[in-house]
Amino acid sequence: KQDQRGQILTSMMKRVDVSVYETIKALVDGTFKGGYRTFGLAEGGVGYAENDYNQSMIADIKPRLEELKQKIISGEIKVPENKTDLATFLQNLPK
């Protein structure tokens, strides 16, 4: 079987470890509140994988990726949450 790792650009990471840690920390600190919490880019809950296999492939676009990441965190870019939001988002993309 051929090694495919060098052919994978990147993967989306769901950082469940961050959400588990932050939830336990809140419980220990006495600040835990029940309900839903969102762990997105700002909270370190999601990201993209970078490793020895893809670093050279994404090196030239990494500054742009980080710029987009910061715009999402700041709210300048609003990530669509449903199909209606997605349609609006796509319609408003620069041509």
Give per-residue pLDDT as tens, 3-46: 776 667 778 899 999 999 999 999 999 999 999 999 999 999 99
Strand boundaries in the chain, DSSP class E: 12-14, 46-48
Residue among 61, 78, 63, 55 at smallest CA distance from 6: 55
Least confident segment among 6-15, 57-66, 69-78: 6-15
Q: Residue 26: count other Cβ atoms within 10 Å of its Cβ.
A: 13
